[in-house]
Structures are given as C-alpha cells and as structure tokens.
Structure 1
Amino acid sequence: MADLAHILLRRQHDVLFATLNRPDTRNALAPEMVVELADIVHVAESDDKVRALVLRGAGGFFCAGGNVVNFQVRLSAQDSNDDPIAARNRDFGRFMQRLAALPIPLIAVVEGGAMGGGMGLACAADLVLATQDARFALSETSLGIIPAQIAPFVVARVGQRAALRLGLFGERLSGEDAQALGLVDELAADTAHLDALLAQWLTRLCACAPGANRALKPLLRRCGHESDDTLLDDAAQQFAACMRHEGAEGIAAFREKRPAAWRQAFGTADVHA
C-alpha cells in the first residue's frame, strides 16, 4: 500500500486503526481520502490476520461528509460520454458497499460530528461508539443535494421512517438521540472515557476467534436474502471448517480452563496514538 497522505494508519494486536487526518476540513471526504480508505479496506479484506478496522477522525471531529469544494469542481467538469457528477457519486457508493461488506468487524468512533457522508460511514459500521456531545445529521438537503449513495446504509441502520425524518427535515441528532435511534451503540462522557470504552469492546472482540468472526459476519449478512436451505447448507460446511481449525483450540481451552490462544487484551494506550 502506498504512503498515506490523508489518513493515519497503525496496527495494534492485528487491529487496524485508521484516523481521518484532515482536521482543517473537519476530515471531509475528499476523493483522495476515499481512495486511501479503499486501500485500507483492501488490506482488511485480504489479510486474514486483521481482526477489526477502527475508524475515527483527527482533531476531535469524526467526518464532515463530502468536500463542498470538490462538489463545485464537479459542476464545471465536462465529459462527452458520461455525467461526471453521477459517475463520481456512484464510485463513492461502490466504496461504501465494500466497506459495509468487510468480513471483519468495523467500529466507528465518533467525536465532534458525523455529518452527511460521515454519518454514512458510521451507519456502515458494526459498532458505533460516540461521545455524548457528538452530533449526527444528514445535511445534504440543506445544500440542495441528496444523500444518494449512503441512503441504503442509513436505512439499514436506523430504519426508513427515521431516515426520512433526518433527510427531509435536516434534523441534527445529539449523541443521546442517536443512541435512541440505534445509530450509536454506546456513549462516553468524553474522549478519555471513549478510549476506555473502545479498549473494552476490542478486548471483548479479541476473546472471539478471528477466523470464526470472518466466517460469521458474511453469514449473518446473507440471512433474509436467500433460501434457508441454501444458507444452512453453507453454514454447516463453515461450521465444520471452523471446528477443524479454531474450534479445536477453543474447545481445548475451555476444557483446560485457560484463555484461548487468540485472546488479547487492550488498554487505553493501545487504542489512542
């Protein structure tokens, strides 16, 4: 992977920590940042040792969504074959699909705000942790545009009625409101408590076998989208594969009353560089 200019990336106990690092723009999703995020997603997809991906923002702000300056540039772009605005927008949707389909847990850690596309990133996550003073909004319609490519992920996270209210009225959610809607899983009083909370969740995560988690997340995503027979036939094969791999260690550790080989504890120093 090439050197990253817009994201700080580090690896701790086989967890990837990706910090959006353009605080001057409140970590807005410039095209270059999305390209780097896609590179990180590729690493997480292809490296079986990676156990989770944690997304957060530098400077006390998660992500302000799309970069308005880039929107203006797109208005003046010309292409004889395709609409460049639609093409770039759809490219972001493909990235969102890959992000949501990651076979490993995706954790969003939100401080300050998650606006527009930033809220979309949070909605694609499996676990969202936030400070109580964090704010969430689908802010696109106030700019005369729509949350086009993040819409399915917002609806999947909070439901259609809530998504309609947020999008049509531009409502800003507090951390407490976002938790009540199911967008946020757990709140922290401040950044120090947020780091401690993240360390607790990562410790829980790393009590679970990494291979089993990589098998389980795609399986759960298939539920409700294909026949039970097909799903359960495949699940039986995956169960057998797990049993012959990590299952042997997990059962032995249980019988011997010892931690499994994959267990790893996180402290606050591990989660915040």
Structure 2
Amino acid sequence: MPDSSCNDAVIVRRACGVLFATLNIPATRNALAPEVVAALAAAVARAEADPEVRALVLRGAGGSFSAGGNVGSFQSRLDADASQEDPVATRNRQFGYFMERLSVLPVPVIAAVEGAAMGGGMGLACAADIVLATRDARFALSETTLGIVAAQIAPFVVQRLGAAATRRLGLTGERVSGEAAAAIGLVDQLAADSAELDALIAEWLTRIGRCGPNANRVFKTLVGRCGHEPLGPLLDQASRQFAQCMRREGAEGVAAFRDKRDAAWTVRFDADTVRTAQSTR
C-alpha cells in the first residue's frame, strides 16, 4: 500500500519511489486555488529534498485535470487594498514562483490529463516533461476570453509549443482536443479512456524505472542549463558530472548491461499500482 499524505486540496501518495499528486476539488474542476498551489508546491519540495523520489505524477480527480485559475476569487483580489503593493500582481506572481520550481524539478514530471486543462491547468501540463492525455481531453489558453492574460504560464507554454502555436492559442482562446494537442506537440501520447491512461502512466514510469535515479536528476538539470550558460564551462562541468555518475550508479549500470540483467534500481509499474496510488479514497 502506498504511503500517503493529503489535505482537502491535493492527495499525495508514494509508491515505488514515485509521488502521485492528485488535485482533489472536483466541484471546481480542480481550479488552482491558493490551497491547491500550496499543496502542489509542498509535493515539489518533497521531491526536491528526497533523493529517493524518482518521479512526480500530476493528475486531477473527478475526470478533470484543472480548469485553471480560481475565477471565483478574482473579485476579492480586486477589492483588496492596493495602496502599497498590488494584491492581484502579487498573487499572480506567486503562481509563477511555483511554476519555476516545478519546471526545474530534477526528477521526471508526468502530467496525466483528462477533461479540462484550461489556462493555468494547461500551463501546469506544459511545465511537465511528459504529457499523457485521453483523446477527449480539452486544452485552452482561455485567459484572453476573460480579458486577462496567461502571464505566468506563457514562458512554459512557449518552451513546449514554440511562439507561433502559443500566439495562435492565446490570441483566440481556441479549445483543442487531445488529438489536436498531440499534433502540435503538447501531448506525448494519447489514451482512449481513464483505464488506458492508467496503463500508459505505468508504461512511462516503467521506462523511467529503468534509468538510474541520480543520473536522471543530473541529466534533467544539465538540459535545463543548456542555452542559458556559455558552452565551454557547461561542458567542463558536465565532464565532471559524468565521472561522478560513472563512479556511482554507472558502475552498477555497466555491470548489469554486461551481465544481461536488470540494474539494482530497476522498478516496474502496472496499471493497478497506478490506480491505487491515484485513488482519492
């Protein structure tokens, strides 16, 4: 049985070194209210701090990933005292800080999308490394239809889709299906329904489970630095990281390859394990 921790907003369970964080406010289609973002940030912090965590899976309960920002709270922000610092800008930027941490989390992040992934929900998916979705999932940068902008998620959408596709979606509020999202590179693989999505998550986690946990952390961090730092110094440090990995997990990985066996860190998942870890009961 997976170990777990939860509040009313997000249920977090751990199974075989993977954290499963399930957004759990179906009444709002898992809108990104402050308590939801805070609980997600706590899951990210847990994955950052624990070297035994090998991946993070994000999913929504009740057949919906996330409807995005909590529109119901917008008026209260407008009514708040803005004499010193604009509370609307402050709250918006707080979500951006979370998105930054999620995007650089040094373990693989899988977003499993059913139903709506609107606005911030779509941004959440774009910050993941692997996006899996059912064919009837729906994605949209819907902020402009409310007269606002996708301020904090725009860089992450551009990073995944490129500027042209992001402009098209953001300037029209167009809703795209899972199949259309796959065609533009937002979704990596489609499932027919929720049960098939469980099996798909298990497949991808099994692939991740074949990789050295430390090697994955080092590699994801290295990729995140590419294009942002001078190439020479980056490669200098990469060579030292390669040597460190070789002396750690690399020795076991090479031995396992030579002996035609699984490496000691190998973990396999099945759909039942995934389903149990994501249960809200």
Q: For 2:261, what is the secondary structure of its paired residue?
A: coil
Task: Give the letter for the 2:162 counterpart.
Answer: G
- Contact kept in structure 1, 2:6 and 2:12, CA below 8 Å: no
1:181 aligns with one of 160, 179, 184 = 184
Task: Give the letter for the 1:168 counterpart.
Answer: L
Q: For 1:60, what is the secondary structure of its paired residue?
A: coil
Residues of 1 paired with 2:42 and 2:247: CA distance? 32
- Is structure 2 residue 166 aligned with structure 1 residue 163? yes
Q: For 2:89, what is the secondary structure of its paired residue?
A: helix
1:152 aligns with one of 150, 155, 176 = 155
1:233 aligns with one of 236, 241, 256 = 236
1:75 aligns with one of 55, 78, 83 = 78
Describe the superposition over 1:107-150 as per-residue Cα deviations: whole angstroms up to 9, x where unpaired: 00000110000000000000000000100000111111100000
Return the offset for 1:66: 0.4
- Contact kept in structure 1, 2:5 and 2:13, CA below 8 Å: no
Q: For 1:163, what is the secondary structure of its paired residue?
A: helix
Query: Partner residue of 1:5?
Result: 8
Query: Partner residue of 2:279?
Result: none
Residues of 1 paired with 2:6 and 2:145: CA distance? 36
After superposing on structure 2, the runs of 4+ consecutive aligned residues of structure 1 that deviate more than 4 Å are: none
Query: Partner residue of 2:25?
Result: 22
Describe the superposition over 1:216-259 as per-residue Cα deviations: whole angstroms up to 9, x where unpaired: 00101111111111110010010011011000111111111111
Query: Partner residue of 1:103?
Result: 106
TM-score for the superposition, normalised by structure 2: 0.95
Gap change, CA 1:3 and 1:175, over 3 Å in 2: closer
Q: Share of identical aligned residues, percent?
A: 64
Query: Partner residue of 1:118?
Result: 121
TM-score for the superposition, normalised by structure 1: 0.98
Describe the superposition over 1:8-67 as per-residue Cα deviations: whole angstroms up to 9, x where unpaired: 110000000000000000000001111111111100111000000000000010000000
1:201 aligns with one of 201, 204, 224 = 204
1:89 aligns with one of 74, 92, 101 = 92
1:269 aligns with one of 258, 272, 275 = 272
2:43 aligns with one of 40, 45, 49 = 40
Structure 2 unaligned regions, length at least 5: 277-281
Aligned residues: 273
